[in-house]
Structure 1
Amino acid sequence: MIDLSLVKLHLRVDHDEEDLLIQGYLEAALEHVQQHCDRRLVEINPVFPNEMTLTKDVMHAVLLLVAHWYTNREAVSGQSVSTVPLAVERLLWYRKKF
């Protein structure tokens, strides 16, 4: 759905040592978006009401999540809690089913 090479380009990673880790973050981010929006991501036009297309804004939200998790590998960084970037919420807020 989203190619690992695009994710690595976004992360500015030019080695292969962490491909498995990055792929795991990618899969988790895609799942997070699906659960957040209560819809299944599809690459082509949705057929069912519970589907949504992987548009550029949704893809950007996924990339932001992966980058956030890649950079902040623990929930707590120093004395402050590391939260999901506001941009992710903003990119996905209108896609939630109410």
Structure 2
Amino acid sequence: MITLEEAKAHCRVTPEETEFDGEIQIALDAAVDHLRSINVDVAADPFPPALKQAVLMLVAHFFENKEAVTPEKVWFTPIGVDRLIAPYRGVSL
């Protein structure tokens, strides 16, 4: 799985900048929870690189875009996430 330190590095937050730890941890938990909710197996060990990248992309997206919609823009999840997780999704019938 991804550590807080890895998520901070991906968001370009230094280890010394602890004021964002809670926010980044929430984003990390939300990213993993989101993948679980769409039937992606996040319990794999070792964790596949594509899933790791998808989680990190979601963390960065959540960290940078605090709201889903603003008067100026509508934010969507990064397009690459769908392609990265596709091989790991369970089939729903």
Q: Could you say which TM-score interval applies, normalised by the shorter chain? A: 0.7 to 0.9
TM-score after normalising by structure 2: 0.86
What residue is the counterpart of 2:19 in the other structure? 17
Q: Structure 1 residues 9 and 21 mapped into 2: Cα distance closer, same or farther (>3 Å)?
A: same
* Higher percent of residues as strand: 1
CA RMSD of aligned residues (A): 1.5
TM-score after normalising by structure 1: 0.82
Q: 2:75 aligned with 1:76, yes or no?
A: no
**2:42 partner SS:** strand
Structure 1 residue 54: deviation in Å? Answer: 2.2
Identity %: 35
Q: 2:93 aligned with 1:94, yes or no?
A: no
Q: 2:55 aligned with 1:62, yes or no?
A: yes
Number of positions where the alignment pairs a residue of Structure 1 with one of Structure 2: 89
Structure 1 residue 40: deviation in Å? Answer: 3.8
**1:42 partner SS:** coil
Q: Structure 1 residues 35 and 54 mapped into 2: Cα distance closer, same or farther (>3 Å)?
A: farther
* RCO higher in structure (CA 8 A, sep ≥6): 2
Deviation string 1:14-39 (CA, Å, 9 cap, x unpaired) is 21001011001101101111222x14
What residue is the counterpart of 2:42 in the other structure? 41
**1:70 partner SS:** helix
8 Å Cα contact 2:7/2:56 also seen in 1 = yes
Q: 2:86 aligned with 1:85, yes or no?
A: no
Any unmatched runs of 5+ in structure 1? 45-52
